[in-house]
Amino acid sequence: MVQTGRCDRNGTQRFRLSAAPQPSTQTGENAANCALSQQAQTGLEVLLSDHLGELVGIAVGIAANHASVTSGLVHISDALASAGVKIKALFGPEHGARGDVADGEHVGDAVDARLGVPVYSLYGKHRAPTPEMLDGIDVMLVDLQDVGSRFYTFLYTMANVMDACGACGVPVWVLDRPNPITGTNPEGPILEPDFASFVGMYSIAQRHGLTAGELARLFETRFGVECDLRVIKMRGWARRMWFDETGLPWVMPSPNMPSLETAVVYPGLCLLEGTNVSEGRGTVRPFELFGAPWIEPRELKAALLDYDLPGAVFREAYFVPTTSKFAGIRCAGAQVHVTDRDKFRPVVTGVAVVAALRRLYPDDFAFRAPGVDGRRHFDLLAGTSAVREAIDSGASPWEIAAGWERGLAEYAEACRSVMLY
């Protein structure tokens, strides 16, 4: 891997993660166009084409959900069962193995109606498989679509599966999938250990710039998640690819991740979950729309445009959420429109939105109160209290972002040894 950088506003260095140069018979623009014209194959597709023979005669566990499908939209469990693989049990993350549970709701155990095997919840009473759940399983397959953000809980379900399987001597195969928002441009603060939670267990960047398979390798080598790990790599995926350049179908991996456009803004705008402002849940544009009944859209838009955020513009917006904050109540605010996703910086944009709201509406805006453990949800999302404290002090988004750069440089260096593409 080669670490590169470029300066953004105020000379701030922006770090990129890029694969090391590889020998090729093609050069320049022709090679790049060729790579982007090929449909990528997920780790699941590679498993089905190259490794099925290794699963003959053994019992398989599968940690997956409704987005764990082939390019032909066949679920991993159906594809493997049709190929004669013995499936011992399914394990479901947040939202359940079939994606039918809302955000944050606990999921119960069940029996899969089609396969007749147990479906164990890893987002309910247990966050990791127990030895009893793993009994009789010879290999665990993990096939979960991440969206490129540190606080997406599927990452920590994967880590918990790895840890539990390691303790029980069960090998883990992670079937890799694309990072939808590219495998480049890590951004945001690095999580501090005091703020570890299930929306951020390890010290990685808020926009992490890795695939799930690469993160599994990072968890194993840097954070002590011990197991017999094997990553089934993708074919035809390059770090700079956006999901809509892979040729793969988008299946929303969670209820409020309906599109690639949502995933693009999510690493930053999700910070609004830690405030009393709606992040657009209960609308058709979650995380793109944001607001509250007490906001004046024109002044909010003007304040955001004054920050001169790259790759984004804002429009005044009104909406009525059907769920979550202000359900059934008319909200006013804005919608972020990404005009250049390669230049767009989601985390600094999210910080800018929060900073503008804090400055414009000091009597109405609030960070969510601390939980029973004394920690604020905003700080758990940011991975530090420093962002909130800087916003409260009146610091600009660009001043706050400048404080991330040393950590991002060290993080980019740490990622070099785990990168697969």
Q: What is the CATH number of the domain that holds 345?
A: 3.90.1150.140
What pLDDT does 9 receive?
A: 55
pLDDT at 10 over 60: no
pLDDT at 31 over 50: no
* Same domain (yes/no): 298, 186: no
How many Å separate Cα 275 from the centre of its chain? 20
pLDDT at 14 over 70: no
Nearest alpha-carbon partner for 15 in 401, 320, 324, 336: 401
pLDDT at 358 over 70: yes
* Same domain (yes/no): 278, 373: yes
Nearest alpha-carbon partner for 65 in 105, 108, 85, 95: 95
* Same domain (yes/no): 74, 140: yes
Q: Given pLDDT bands bounded at 50, 70 and 90, which one contains residue 27?
A: very low
* Same domain (yes/no): 134, 265: no
> Is 332 part of a structural domain of the chain?
yes
pTM of the model: 0.90
Q: Is 143 in contact with 161 (CB distance < 8 Å)?
A: no
Identify the residue with better confidence: 124 or 144.
144
Q: Given pLDDT bands bounded at 50, 70 and 90, which one contains residue 103?
A: low
Average pLDDT for 382-388: 98
pLDDT above 70: percentage of residues in the chain: 89
* Same domain (yes/no): 230, 164: yes
* Same domain (yes/no): 270, 140: no
For the record, the structure tokens of 14 come out as 């922006």
> Is 407 part of a structural domain of the chain?
no
pLDDT at 6 over 70: no
Average pLDDT for 335-355: 98
> Is 224 part of a structural domain of the chain?
yes
Report the domain count for the chain. 2
Q: Is 269 in contact with 350 (CB distance < 8 Å)?
A: yes
What pLDDT does 96 receive?
A: 78
pLDDT at 143 over 80: yes
Q: Given pLDDT bands bounded at 50, 70 and 90, which one contains residue 109?
A: confident
* Same domain (yes/no): 221, 326: no
* Same domain (yes/no): 361, 283: yes
Q: How far apart are the C-alpha atoms of 87 and 105, rounded to whole Å?
A: 27
CA distances from 412 to 14, 209, 277 (A): 11, 9, 33
pLDDT at 181 over 60: yes
> Is 374 part of a structural domain of the chain?
yes
> Is 415 part of a structural domain of the chain?
no
* Same domain (yes/no): 60, 168: yes
* Same domain (yes/no): 293, 237: no
Structural domain boundaries enclosing 194:
43-252
The domain boundary, picked from 221, 252, 283, lies at 252
> Is 31 part of a structural domain of the chain?
no
Q: Residue 53 maps to which CATH number?
A: 3.40.50.12170
pLDDT at 34 over 50: no
The domain boundary, picked from 229, 252, 275, lies at 252
* Same domain (yes/no): 265, 248: no
Average pLDDT for 337-352: 98
What is the SS3 string spanning the chain?
A: CEEEEEECHHHCEEEEEECCCCCCCCCHHHHHHHHHHCCCECHHHHHHHHHHHHHCCCEEEEEECCCCECCCCCEHHHHHHHCCCEEEEEEECCCCCCCCCCCCCCCCCEECCCCCCEEEECCCCCCCCCHHHHCCCCEEEEECCCCCECCCCHHHHHHHHHHHHHHHCCCEEEECCCCCCCCCCCEEEECCHHHCECCECCCCEEECCCCHHHHHHHHHHHCCCCCCEEEECCECCCCCCCHHHCCCCCCCCCCCCCCHHHHHHHHHHHHHHHECCECCCCCCCECCEEEECCCCHHHHHHHHHHCCCCCEEEEEEEECCCCCCCCCCCEEEEEEEECCCCCCCHHHHHHHHHHHHHHHCCCCCCECCCCCCCCCHHHHHHCCCHHHHHHHCCCCHHHHHHCCHHHHHHHHHHHHHHCCC
For all residues of the chain together, what is the average pLDDT?
92
What pLDDT does 61 receive?
A: 98
Average pLDDT for 244-253: 97
For the record, the structure tokens of 394 come out as 């009146």
pLDDT at 37 over 80: no
* Same domain (yes/no): 241, 286: no
What pLDDT does 26 receive?
A: 41
36: buried, middle or exposed (CB in 10 Å: 19+, 13-18, 0-12)? middle
